[in-house]
A = this chain, B = another copy of it.
Amino acid sequence: MEKTDALDSLSALAHDLRLDTFRLLVRAGPEGMAAGEIAEALQIRANTLSNNLTILAAAGLVRSAREGRSIRYFARMEQMRDLLGFLIQDCCGGRPEQCQPMLDQLSCPC
């Protein structure tokens, strides 16, 4: 991942509503959620959500697909993985002795 893509993703996630939206979609999994369902769940206006979904989509963190009248949104886990990869690579830059101990402490809560 390029630095500019990482900046886009970080900016997209560095926003209360967008972080909530992304987390919600991650939890929704492969079925995704319709824009209306998201707005309902997060108690926000349709157009505010739409603007922020556009920003998440531009950053590659979500994708959309029309389904009848509504439009479903899905979290793009690949992008999330690439972002984590970028941040980790960032930390390692030539200094494995600093990076590895950090990663060892990182455990997946699964």
- Asked whether any CB of chain B lies closer than 8 Å to the CB of A26, the reply is yes
Interface size class of A (residues with CB under 8 A): 35 or more
Copies of this chain in the oligomer:
2
The complex places the Cα of A77 from the Cα of B90 at a distance, in Å, of 11
Task: Let me know if B84 and A98 touch, CB within 8 A.
Answer: no
Residue A87 CB within 8 A of the other chain: yes
Does B91 contact A87, Cβ atoms closer than 8 Å?
no
Interface flags for A74-98 (1: CB within 8 Å of B; 0: not) read 0001001101110111111111101
Also in contact, A108 and B103, with CB within 8 A (given A84-B87, A93-B27): yes
Listed in ascending order, the chain A residues whose CB lies under 8 Å from chain B are 3, 6-7, 10-11, 13-16, 19, 22-23, 26-27, 29-30, 77, 80-81, 83-85, 87-96, 98-100, 102-103, 105-110
